[in-house]
Amino acid sequence: MNREEAWALLTEYNQEPFHLQHAKTVAAVMKWFAQKLGYAEEAEFWELVGLLHDLDFEKYPEQHCQKTAEILRERGMDESFIHAIVSHGYGMVSEVAPEHVMEKVLFAVDELTGLIGAAALMRPSKSVSDMELKSLKKKFKDKSFAAGCSREVIQTGANMLNWSLDELLETTLNAMKETEEIIAM
């Protein structure tokens, strides 16, 4: 499956702008991390996993992850692709733990990109471009801000990667700064 086909599949199951935006953000950030972490040849794979990770969430929230696995199997997708997607629900809706570094990154950035995106919307610029790590850390600590973005999941993701929380916040903020224009397209 190429990006165009993945996008067609995504929009077959998702129409809400918020969901499409989240998919595009996680896709771009995953691709950025692939390049950053020495997985440039797998960048498209990381990107497509990011794009489709919440494929089922708009229409089948009760069957989150399982329904995506079903849809992707019907389309003949590779089991490694399905494993990656299902593992982002680990500890919540899935028993499949992230193993590959790509899966750990997905687990860590899924909620965090939501938090950073929400923080950006509070800024006069409506952008991450002028956001400092210090202000992101404040938003992270303020549990009433974007309460739907689980701080626990973000912390667990950092632990899985053996990164400090600050390292994860800073790198993901950089990823979003460098991909903001691509995501807006």
Q: Binding residues for Fe ion, per CB under 5 A? A: 54, 110
CB of 88 to Fe ion, least distance (A): 7
CB of 83 to Fe ion, least distance (A): 16
Phi, psi of 60 (to 5 degrees): -130, 55
CB of 114 to Fe ion, least distance (A): 7
User: Do 106 and 171 meet the contact criterion of CB atoms below 8 Å apart?
Assistant: no
User: Do 80 and 98 meet the contact criterion of CB atoms below 8 Å apart?
Assistant: no
In degrees to the nearest 10, what's the CA dihedral of 51, 52, 56, 57? Answer: -30
* Cα–Cα nearest to 156, from 118, 93, 116, 110: 110
CB of 22 to Fe ion, least distance (A): 6
The conformation of residue 59, written as its DSSP 8-state character, comes to T
Residues 6+ apart with CB under 8 A from 90: 96, 97, 98, 107
* Closer residue to Fe ion, CB minimum distance, 12 or 130: 12
* Closer residue to Fe ion, CB minimum distance, 83 or 132: 83
* Closer residue to Fe ion, CB minimum distance, 40 or 147: 147
User: Do 34 and 46 meet the contact criterion of CB atoms below 8 Å apart?
Assistant: yes
CB of 130 to Fe ion, least distance (A): 25
* Closer residue to Fe ion, CB minimum distance, 40 or 92: 92
* Closer residue to Fe ion, CB minimum distance, 54 or 56: 54
